[in-house]
Amino acid sequence: MVRGQPGPVLTRAGVVGSPVAHSLSPVLHHAAYAALGLGDWSYDRTEVPAGGLGRFVESLGPEWVGLSVTMPGKEEALALAQAAGGSATAVGAANTLVRRPEGWYADNTDVDGLRAALLEAGLEDARRAVVLGGGATARSAFVALQGLGVRVVEVLVRDRLRPQTAQLLESLGLDTHVRRLADGIPLDAAEVVLSTLPGGTPAPPVRDGGAHRPVAMDVGYAPWPSPFADAVAEATQGRVRVVRGTRMLLHQAARQVELMTGREAPTPAMDLALRRALEGRAPR
């Protein structure tokens, strides 16, 4: 239930994944419900391991209207839905499930969140990008970057590019160059450098581009600063600031709120709640 709003909970939503205890999604959705006057809506965390999303969804009562899906359930979310949006279909994974009369609808608001966060960070006229990682979140990044005008991507992976990711890059018409993470991050190779590596993953070495200052972002937000953010700051002596993944989190959650409630998201109220939570001034 939205804090401070008395009365029974009649409508439920939540975030599922594993691990999920650290998720800040409840902060954002609670703030949205409060701003929209939805005092009878609740939003909770539920630990759902890999392979368990289908059983969990089957157990939900009619009061459930939507789910935010984090790893490792994004591909499973798409597979169990009766219909899906274009972003989810392209990426091959969904981070959002919305109950509709005809069944569950899957979408991928990570694409919206990434696009909005990069524009907010000042990205413009980008033609080249460097992306660390090749999983589901990286695929969301490729769709977002292509929509922002990027035509050439350098993908840094530990070993080989996943077939599904390679297929997406080809379908998007992106000129793709695959490199090994161990070879290092070329900051001078693009207008935007984006890490989709799991939180806490050690960062490869960074090759400083001198005066070149790309927009750099880590989609992760815990721990922070991330190893990627620390490595970039050290290599550039602070000249390049890495955008924290909470900006992507905010904008993708705003789109989720719109899909689940059918109303315009109160993004400023959500942003304020997020900033207070990050400062330790609000419960998580």
Tens of pLDDT, residue by residue over 89-112, are 999 999 999 999 999 999 999 999
With 0.75 as the threshold, say if the pTM is over it: yes
Burial of 195 (0-12, 13-18, 19+ CB in 10 A): buried
Task: Tell me: do 223 and 129 sit in the same domain.
Answer: yes
Task: Tell me: do 59 and 82 sit in the same domain.
Answer: yes
Does residue 85 lie within any of the structural domains?
A: yes
pLDDT score recorded for residue 208:
72
CATH number where 228 lies: 3.40.50.720
Report which residue type is found at 204: P
Task: Tell me: do 156 and 230 sit in the same domain.
Answer: yes
Q: How many residues does the chain have?
A: 284
Report which residue type is found at 66: G
Contact 177, 142 (CB under 8 A): no
Burial of 89 (0-12, 13-18, 19+ CB in 10 A): middle
Does residue 1 lie within any of the structural domains?
A: no
pLDDT score recorded for residue 212:
75
pLDDT score recorded for residue 156:
97
pLDDT score recorded for residue 11:
97
CATH number where 256 lies: 3.40.50.10860
Task: Tell me: do 28 and 144 sit in the same domain.
Answer: no
Task: Tell me: do 90 and 128 sit in the same domain.
Answer: no
Does residue 4 lie within any of the structural domains?
A: no
pLDDT score recorded for residue 283:
43
Task: Tell me: do 121 and 239 sit in the same domain.
Answer: yes
Task: Tell me: do 93 and 201 sit in the same domain.
Answer: no
Does residue 2 lie within any of the structural domains?
A: no
74 catalytic, yes or no? yes
Report which residue type is found at 219: V
For residues 178 and 156, give the distance between their C-alpha atoms in angstroms, rounded to a whole number.
Answer: 6
Task: Tell me: do 167 and 228 sit in the same domain.
Answer: yes
- Counted domains in the chain: 2
Does residue 76 lie within any of the structural domains?
A: yes
pLDDT score recorded for residue 161:
94
pLDDT score recorded for residue 1:
45
Q: Which residues have CB under 8 Å from 29's CB, separation 6+?
A: 13, 43, 68, 253, 256, 257
pLDDT score recorded for residue 284:
42
Residues in the chain with pLDDT values less than 70? 1-9, 209-211, 281-284
Residue from 74, 139, 244, 255 carrying the catalytic annotation: 74
Does residue 5 lie within any of the structural domains?
A: no
For 92-120, b/e burial (b = at least 16 CB within 10 A) is bbbbbbbbeeeebbbbbbbbbbbbbbbee
For 18-57, b/e burial (b = at least 16 CB within 10 A) is bebeebbbbbbbbbbbbbbebbbbbbbbeebeeebbeebb
Q: Which residues have CB under 8 Å from 160's CB, separation 6+?
A: none
Containing structural domain, residue 148: 112-244
Task: Tell me: do 86 and 146 sit in the same domain.
Answer: no
Does residue 283 lie within any of the structural domains?
A: no
Burial of 151 (0-12, 13-18, 19+ CB in 10 A): middle
